[in-house]
Structure 1
Amino acid sequence: MSTRARLTRTDWLLAGFHALAEAGPVALKAEPMARRLGTTKGSFYWHFADVPDFHRQMLALWAEGALGHIPALLADQPTPVARLRRLGQVVAGDGHPVLGDLAVEPAIRAWARGDDKVAQVLSGVDAARIDHIQQLLTEVEITNPEMARIIYAAHVGMQDLAARDGRDNAGPMGSLVDLVLALR
C-alpha cells in the first residue's frame, strides 16, 4: 500500500497558477485540477468551498505577492534615485515571492478581460503599483503623473513580451528609468 502526501491548500493554488499560465482560466475547475494533480475532486473540496472560492484565494495570493514584497526590496536603497532604479530592476525580474518566476501575470490579465471579479482585483493591483511609482517619481521631483503610467505600461508590455519570447527586460526597463530621470 502506497502512502501519498496529502495535498495542501498551497499545492492546489500553485497548481492553479501553473494551469492558468499554461491553459488559461478554463483549466481552473475542480475536475481538471484534480486530474492535473493525480487526485480526486474531494481533495479540492476539502480545501475550497467551491470553484469561485478557489479563484478568490488564487487572486488574493497573487495580489498579496504582487504588492507586498516591493517596499522591502527598496528599503535598503539610500536615495530616491536609487529606489527608482531598483524598482526598475525589480519589475524587470518580476519574481513573485510565492510563484517565483512563473509568468502568471499575463495570464491573469487575459483572465481579467473575461471576468469582472478578476478585473477588479487586477485594477486594484495596477492602481497601487502606479501610486507607488508616482510616489517614487515625486521623491525625485518628477511630478507629471503620466510618467508613472508610462513606466507601468512599459512594465506590463514587457511582461507580455517576455512571456512569449523569454527575453530579459532589465536592460530596457533600466534605459526607460534612466530616460525618465534625465527629464528632471
Structure 2
Amino acid sequence: MTAARPKRLTRDDWLSAGAKRLAAAGAEALKAEPMARHMKTTKGSFYWHFKDVPDYHAQILSAWEKAALADLSSVLEGETGAVPRLRALAQSIAEPETGTATESAIRSWATTSAAARATLARVDEARLSALQGLLSETGIGNPEMARIIYAAGIGMERLGQTGTGDNRGSIGSLVDLVLALR
C-alpha cells in the first residue's frame, strides 16, 4: 500500500493561510520559513508561488482589499434608499460578516508597513466616500459626520472582539442620531 500523495498547495492556499496567520500572530509571521512550517511544507513551495516575501505581503494585501471593496459594493447594492443603505453600511463596518480579525491585524500592520498603510487608506477612503455620499443623499452635507460614523464603527468592531454587545444596534442608534440632525 502506498501513502497518499499530499495535496499540492495553491497560491490561494498560501494567501488564505497568510490572512489567518496575520490575524492570529501578526505580520511577523508572514515570512517564508515560518509560513512553510505552519503549512507543513517546504520554502520551495512558497517560492514557487511568490517571488519573495514582499510579493507575498503585497498579494495578501491585494486579496484583502479586493474582498473589502467587494463587501462594500455588496452592502450598497443590497438595500434601496439612502437611509437603509447608510444604516447597512455603518452596521457592516461595526460588525462585519467576515474578515474581522484580518482587518484588525491589517490596521495594526499599517502602523509599521507603508504597503499595508496604503492599502488600508484606499479601503478607508472608499468606505468614507460611500458614507459621505449616502449622508449627502439624506441632506447631511457635513463630511465630519461620515468620519464620526466610520470611526465609531471601527471602534465598535474592535471592541466587539473583546467583549459582548450589540454593535449593529449601537451603530444604528448613532446613525439615527446623525439623521435627526437633518
- Range into which the TM-score falls when normalised by the shorter chain: over 0.9
**Greater shift after overlay, 10-19 or 158-167?**
158-167
Percent identical among aligned pairs is 53
Q: Does 1:93 align with 2:109?
A: no
Q: Does 1:121 align with 2:146?
A: no
Secondary structure class of the residue paired with 1:69: helix
Matched with 1:15 is 17
Task: List gaps (5 residues or longer) in structure 2.
Answer: none
Contact 1:19 1:28 in 2 (8 A): yes
The residue type paired with residue 58 of structure 1 is: I
The residue type paired with residue 91 of structure 1 is: I
2: distance between equivalents of 1:70 and 1:139?
17
Q: Does 1:111 align with 2:113?
A: no
Residue by residue over 1:56-94, the C-alpha shift from the partner in whole angstroms, topping out at 9 and shown as x without a partner, is 000001111111222233224231111112212322331
Contact 1:84 1:136 in 2 (8 A): yes
Give the TM-score, by structure 1 length: 0.91
1: distance between equivalents of 2:51 and 2:90?
39
Deviation above 4 Å: which 4+ runs of structure 1?
Answer: none
Task: Give 1:42 shift.
Answer: 0.9
Q: Does 1:139 align with 2:137?
A: yes
The residue type paired with residue 36 of structure 1 is: H
Match of 1:157 among 155, 158, 167: 155
Secondary structure class of the residue paired with 2:64: helix
Give the TM-score, by structure 2 length: 0.92
Task: Give 1:40 shift.
Answer: 0.8
1: distance between equivalents of 2:158 and 2:16?
20
Task: Give 1:152 shift.
Answer: 0.7
Task: List gaps (5 residues or longer) in structure 1.
Answer: none
Match of 1:70 among 65, 69, 72: 72
- Aligned residues: CA RMSD: 1.5
Task: Give 1:167 shift.
Answer: 4.3
